[in-house]
Chains A and B, each alone.
Chain A
Amino acid sequence: MKIVVAVKQVPDTATQVKISGGDPKAIDTAGITWIVSPYDEFAVEEALRIKEKRGQGEVVAVSLGPDRVKEALRSALAMGCDRAVHVNDPALAGADTLLTAQALAAVVKQEQPALVICGRQAIDDDMGAVAGQVAELLGWPCASWIMEETVDADAKTVRVGRQVEGGLEIFDLPLPAVVSAQKGLNEPRYPTLKGIMGAKKKEIKDVKAADLGVTPGAPQLAVKTLEALPARPPGRIIQGDVKDAVKELVRALREEAKAI
């Protein structure tokens, strides 16, 4: 059974993000630490577990972005993916979610996997749209925010638990299908030294938009400007012993903040 996992390289959560001096629509990428988006690690882990459980199969990691994205793909290969596809084309540099989904869907069409696993959302733009859009473009069923998953013995269906408000909806999806990983699905492994060494020999295939039959057009959704957060009004540390402090806090919440 072949599985395609979509991964995105994003700035580390703890990294400082500043607006670029030259372009108010972009961030200053100097000094940023890049990581694989955490939800995508759940996706990679789940794909590897399916392959290991079945004792056969292939896991292909795919990512879109500039040269630096190879590091993210190497991480996925070090975890255990078999090979990678890098959609590396300057013409796609300003890709919005939809164009990204079109490129990924085109890779999926070429690879013909039984299952596509994405992270629930990438933690840079937090759009959370790629899994659903890839499914829509392929005409495949899709379950988002899955917390559990089992592929049946014949690799004909996947049973998933989809997180919704107030519960979990269990569905059977005929394969091929697209799912997106929610936190709680699994605990991603750390790459072993052997995995890291082995990853260097694994194939990362570069593809361009033209190889995929994708025509980069104007984005449907564009960033007009990026802005710093408006500063919050300065807060107040309430002093005094606990009894007085909580009295003052409740008074302030009622009378000043009108929050209770």
Chain B
Amino acid sequence: MANAFWCIVEDDRKGAPKKVMAEVIGEAARLSGGDVEAVWLTDTASDEGLGQLAGWGATKVWLLENAAFAPYRGEVWTPVVAELVAQHAPKAVFAPVTSKMREFAARLAARLGAGLSADSVGMTMDGDQLVATRPVYAGKLLAKMTWAKTPWIATLRPNVFKPADAQAGKTPQVEKPAVTIPGAAMKLVERREEASTGLPELTEAETVISGGRGMKGPENYVILENMAQVIGAAVGASRAAVDAGWRPHRFQIGQTGRTISPKLYLGFGVSGAIQHLAGMRTSKVIVAVNKDPDAPIFKIADYGIVGDLFEVVPALTEEFKKLLEK
């Protein structure tokens, strides 16, 4: 339907949408009064996955299932979605902030000659105009953005928007449009999987534990991993710890790393340099443990303990265990 809000699906590569889609679809539904459609480009979609999208509120799923769509390549995805947009004139095109969606949304905007608000953390309707809020200048300011015309293209930061409640037993209306799939210039050589930590992905985790310079060495992160196992958290690091070679770059939280927005952030031995705050200041609850009472992180922390993390972490892990075993 023209005027629908479209949500581009990020999936788990096994036929199901990622749970961040509940947030994207939920926000699109709130803004549009329920006029939400999902657009899913994938090499494999499952009925359960389609049901999830419907359960979150997608009234229709545009399903483009073809081996050419995985892994994502801009030159294949962009013309296909741009053609669909031209035919069906959605009012908005939303996607979650992921590595591929950030590039894809940019390319789609360029191809359509439309505006893009990347990494948005707030959305409101001002009359019949969408206004997006996004952090700028290392999160020191918030910018309210408006578009000159539709479609309003935006990527949405995970863990910020309220997820849609899942309705059970929904079957979506699935439409498989006929599209011309362009040939790919890029050829996949291989995919190298990261060694699995068994812990949630940093950008998606509801709880994140972060270790900074105060961890004193790579061997000590095991105490954070033990806590992470107990509370189901991801473990990240500050730039100081990454630059020291203690943790791989993919675990870095901050301006030159990952931006996270968990429900609970626990920083141990993290001083709270501006560039770290840029990557985590939209966390809902911030806990800081640092020996230095003047560490800047205490200025934004909801709860702080001034003390030695090597005493606090094991004690806190035990206390979490007691609580969660009850």
Chain A contacts to B: CB under 8 angstroms: 11, 13-14, 16-17, 19, 27, 38-39, 96-98, 101, 123-133, 135-137, 139, 141-145, 147, 159, 161-174, 182-184, 218-229, 232-233, 235-238, 242-243, 245-247, 249-250, 252-254, 257, 259-260
Contact B99 A144 (CB under 8 A): yes
Q: How far is the CB of A193 from chain B (nearest CB, A)?
A: 25
**Residues on the B chain within 8 Å of A130, using CB:** 106
**Residues on the B chain within 8 Å of A126, using CB:** 118-119, 134-136
Contact B284 A159 (CB under 8 A): no
**Residues on the B chain within 8 Å of A98, using CB:** 109-110, 113-116
For B324, give the chain A residue with the smallest CB separation. A260
CB within 8 Å for A222 and B145 given contacts A14-B274, A236-B302: yes
Report the Cα distance A183→B144, complex, angstroms. Answer: 28
Contact B186 A171 (CB under 8 A): yes
Q: How far is the CB of A140 from chain B (nearest CB, A)?
A: 8
Report the Cα distance A168→B118, complex, angstroms. Answer: 23
Report the Cα distance A124→B145, complex, angstroms. Answer: 15
Contact A224 B303 (CB under 8 A): no
Contact B102 A245 (CB under 8 A): no
Taking each of B106, B284, B316, which has the highest tally of chain A beta carbons within 10 Å of its own beta carbon?
B106
**Residues on the A chain within 8 Å of B315, using CB:** 242-243, 246
Can you name 15 A-B residue pairings with CB atoms under 8 Å? A17-B137, A17-B140, A129-B116, A129-B118, A130-B106, A131-B106, A133-B106, A221-B146, A226-B143, A232-B286, A232-B300, A235-B299, A243-B315, A257-B302, A260-B323
0/1 interface trace, chain B 176-204, chain A, CB 8 Å (1 if under): 00000000011111111110000001010
Contact B103 A132 (CB under 8 A): yes
**Residues on the A chain within 8 Å of B186, using CB:** 141, 143, 171-173
For A159, give the chain B residue with the smallest CB separation. B189
Q: State which residues 60-95 of B face A: CB under 8 Å.
A: 71, 73-75, 78
Contact B302 A232 (CB under 8 A): yes
**Residues on the B chain within 8 Å of A101, using CB:** 110
Contact A142 B107 (CB under 8 A): yes
Report the Cα distance A238→B288, complex, angstroms. Answer: 10
CB within 8 Å for A219 and B148 given contacts A236-B303, A259-B284: yes
For B75, give the chain A residue with the smallest CB separation. A141
Contact A226 B136 (CB under 8 A): yes
**Extra 10 A-B pairs, beta carbons < 8 Å, given A129-B109, A183-B257, A237-B293:** A13-B255, A129-B106, A131-B106, A145-B99, A170-B192, A183-B256, A232-B286, A246-B305, A246-B312, A260-B231
**Residues on the A chain within 8 Å of B44, using CB:** none
**Residues on the A chain within 8 Å of B311, using CB:** 242
Contact check: which of B74, B99, B256, B324 meets A163 at CB < 8 Å? Answer: B99
CB within 8 Å for A219 and B143 given contacts A168-B192, A171-B188, A252-B303: no
Contact B256 A39 (CB under 8 A): yes
**Residues on the A chain within 8 Å of B137, using CB:** 11, 17, 27, 124
**Residues on the A chain within 8 Å of B299, using CB:** 235
Taking each of A128, A141, A170, A222, which has the highest tally of chain B beta carbons within 10 Å of its own beta carbon?
A128
Report the Cα distance A131→B137, complex, angstroms. Answer: 20
For B131, give the chain A residue with the smallest CB separation. A224
0/1 interface trace, chain B 280-297, chain A, CB 8 Å (1 if under): 010011110000010000
Contact B285 A253 (CB under 8 A): yes
Q: Is B304 an interface residue (CB 8 A)?
A: yes
**Residues on the A chain within 8 Å of B144, using CB:** 223-227
**Residues on the B chain within 8 Å of A135, using CB:** 74, 107
For B192, give the chain A residue with the smallest CB separation. A168
Contact B148 A220 (CB under 8 A): yes
Q: State which residues 130-171 of B face A: CB under 8 Å.
A: 131, 134-149
Q: How far is the CB of A108 from chain B (nearest CB, A)?
A: 14
Contact A249 B148 (CB under 8 A): no
Report the Cα distance A241→B264, complex, angstroms. Answer: 23
**Residues on the B chain within 8 Å of A173, using CB:** 185-186
Report the Cα distance A238→B71, complex, angstroms. Answer: 48
Q: Is B306 an interface residue (CB 8 A)?
A: yes
Report the Cα distance A259→B252, complex, angstroms. Answer: 23
CB within 8 Å for A132 and B106 given contacts A237-B305, A259-B263: yes
Q: Is B111 an interface residue (CB 8 A)?
A: yes
Contact B136 A221 (CB under 8 A): no
**Residues on the B chain within 8 Å of A127, using CB:** 106, 116, 118-119
**Residues on the A chain within 8 Å of B252, using CB:** 183
**Residues on the B chain within 8 Å of A39, using CB:** 256
